[in-house]
Amino acid sequence: MRLLFAGTPEAALPSLRTLLDSHHEVVGVLTQPDAPTGRGRKLAPSPVKALALEAGVPVLTPATLRDQAVQQQLRDLAPDVAPVVAYGNLIPQAALDIPRHGWINLHFSRLPAWRGAAPAQRAVLAGQRETGMSVFRIEQGLDTGDILTSAPTTIGEFETAGELLERMAEDGASVLLETLDALAAGTATATPQDHALATRAAKLSTAEARIDWTRPAAQVAAHIRGMSPQPGAWTLLDGARTKLLGVEQSPEHAPLPPGRIEATKHQVLVGTGTEVIALSTLAPAGKRPMRAADWARGAALAEGARFTTDQQDGDPA
């Protein structure tokens, strides 16, 4: 089939590579316009655009798909179907009607759970040990279309949202291709979603990423994993913001007061509302991520040092 691929970030690259290598023909790529990046804020193409240009595929980067001239460009490509992976732009009905098989989206949850922008992150934040991927028909509602394919996946005990998303992006490429093959063969089946079971996966915010050390250890650990790598769960140490980016297996240890830090030879333990957790990776203010144990060896922590929730805990701004 003739494919119009729509996607933008790194997470879309495995699917685009798989489709470029398949027996289907990628006749065009839709992606977000070039965006400022880095300290110099120079315009840079999206990862999807860079790969498409390398493959010699025509690329469209419209700010909106409501423009009739843009819609005509899509018609001129004569796509049979438009597979989508993290495109990031609204698709009006006039554009949805162009491919004969419509637009289908690879979504990183088992719908109707976690509709929205951050499904992998929300699953980890909720402490789930299983999630999955869905390929569904795009319609005007937010992730509400009929499901064509659904595949489960486990969530590792210490897996971060970033690691989970990277793994599902790789695994999801074959799920998307299988769905396209079924559409081409006429064997695909569409299952309506049970909207009563829907949950929302809103975009994560920096304010939401703040750590509350009084919560139970399992919830604090899930919060750190779910917010990693972006926006990064954060806390304060001597008034400076520190991002905590991962946890690891903690030893048997007496409880510590919430936020209290205890650095052993090989680990950094922190107290919560219940038992301690062990940090694996963190990023001190203004520095790159590093192993927590390496940070502790050079941090000259005072006895009784603790991470705090906010300035109301008595730390300077």
Binding-site residue ranges for (6S)-5,6,7,8-tetrahydrofolate: 109-112
Spatial contact of 28 and 77, defined as CB atoms under 8 Å apart: yes
Question: Which residue spans within 125-284 are E strands per DSSP?
Answer: 130-137, 147-154, 200-201, 233-237, 240-248, 261-263, 268-270, 277-283
d(CA 279, CA 300): 17
Whether the link from the prior residue into 112 is cis, omega within 30° of 0, is: yes
DSSP helix, strand, coil percent of the chain (3-state; round to 5)? 30, 25, 45
**CA nearest to 58, candidates 26, 20, 106:** 26
Instruction: At 244, give phi and psi (nearest 5°).
Output: -105, 120
Q: How far is CA 139 from the centre of its chain?
A: 22
Q: Calculate the dihedral angle through the C-alpha atoms of 217, 221, 226, 229, rounding to the nearest 10 degrees.
A: 150
- What secondary structure does DSSP assign to 252-273, as a single string? S-----TTBEEE-SS-EEE--S
Annotated binding site: 109-112
Spatial contact of 176 and 85, defined as CB atoms under 8 Å apart: yes
